[in-house]
Amino acid sequence: MAAALCLLLVIGVFVGISMGPAELDFSRLLSAVTGQGDDAAMTLVWDLRLPRVVAALVAGACLGVAGFLLQTSTRNPLGDPQLFGLGGGAAVVQALAIAGIVGRGTWGLYTLSVIASLVGAAIITFFASRRGVSAARLALIGVSLSALTAAIGTGALAGARVFSQQSLNFVGGSLANRGWPDVMPALPFLGLGLVAAVPVLRNLSVLALGDQVAANLGAEPGRTRAVAVASSGILGGTAVAIAGMVGFVGLLVPHVARLLVGHDVRTSFIMSVLLGAAVLLFADQVSRLAFMPSEVPAGMITALLGAPLMIYVARRVQWN
């Protein structure tokens, strides 16, 4: 299954760098990939298309893993960085940046987004660790947090009278015009989120049996959940900083991953990384190629595909 997804990713990358409004035949593409192409082909492949492909892969992987960690650590099928408000803090930071209220140095902005997401993560961890907070109640708290931050972000954009293509792309979730300066700062945060999550995967596997059983096994459910949700916050904030508010990927990908490979935490974690990257990569290709030369936000494609698929998954999936 992982091999099939890797093959799918290779196809997606090929489509991403070879197809677009500007024509690029196979020989020019091959020359550009090997670093011997003409200037136009080199610019198309290395400066315009490849960074966007990498941005889609990174944002998709971030969302897939962030959703997986939230769902597993809180035992909540609705776990999603956007739905739980983790991405909301990052969205406020990005909205303030688009409105010109905070500075737009890319590294600083990524850091601020991740910090804002971590605040959301801390709030979710606090409520998730309290006894008697059901999955539905936790989801309601997350949705409220999300709505609150969305209102603040929209208010910032409206107050600054910014309704440009840029803000539309942000709200809809888009990877248009992403270059290396947008992608590079995301990589260390992706690495940090994944590296932080890996050591608690073993513990996460037994959280399914409830906090009491997990604690009796020595799995430290409180610490495990805090680390998992914090990782989810880092990854969710990073995804918002690259791609804006892309919906459904974080919610849907972990469910599909589990349907494909079962409930082993370690294999479904890897599957969420690959599947998240593949879903957003292909959604972005549809968003930029379906209506050439104009394009629609990738988040619109993930929602169009994700909503009916989520309904199907919701009928199949079993949860507490």
* 263 binding another protein? (CB under 8 A): yes
For residue 131, which amino acid is it?
R
Q: Which of residues 127-186 bind another protein (CB under 8 A)?
A: none
- E-strand stretches of 167-283: none
* 215 binding another protein? (CB under 8 A): yes
* 115 binding another protein? (CB under 8 A): no
**Dihedral angle sign, alpha carbons of residues 156, 241, 306, 254:** negative
Helices (H), 43-164: 50-74, 86-98, 106-128, 135-159
Q: Which of 107, 134, 216, 290 binds another protein (CB under 8 A)?
A: 216
Q: Which of 217, 296, 305, 309 binds another protein (CB under 8 A)?
A: 217
Name the one range near another protein by CB under 8 A: 14-22, 139-147, 182-190, 195-203.
195-203
Query: Kindly report the CA angle at 41 between 36 and 46, in degrees rounded to 5?
Result: 85
Name the one range near another protein by CB under 8 A: 56-64, 133-141, 181-189, 207-215.
207-215
Contact between 178 and 55 (Cβ < 8 Å): yes
Both tokens assigned to 10: 């290779």
Both tokens assigned to 317: 């999936």
* 196 binding another protein? (CB under 8 A): no
Closest to 273 measured CA to CA, from 212, 159, 194: 194
Sequence-separated (6 or more) residues with CB below 8 Å from residue 151: none
Q: Which of 14, 191, 266, 292 binds another protein (CB under 8 A)?
A: 266
CB of 248 to another protein, least distance (A): 21
CB of 22 to another protein, least distance (A): 43
b/e 161-183 (16+ beta carbons within 10 angstroms → b): ebeeeebebbbbbbbbebeeebb
Name the one range near another protein by CB under 8 A: 2-10, 90-98, 212-220, 282-290.
212-220
Both tokens assigned to 247: 């919906």
Name the one range near another protein by CB under 8 A: 14-22, 90-98, 203-211, 290-298.
203-211
* 205 binding another protein? (CB under 8 A): yes
CB of 229 to another protein, least distance (A): 19
- Which residues in this chain contact another protein in the complex, by CB under 8 A? 198-199, 201-203, 205-206, 208-210, 212-213, 215-220, 258, 262-264, 266-267, 317-320
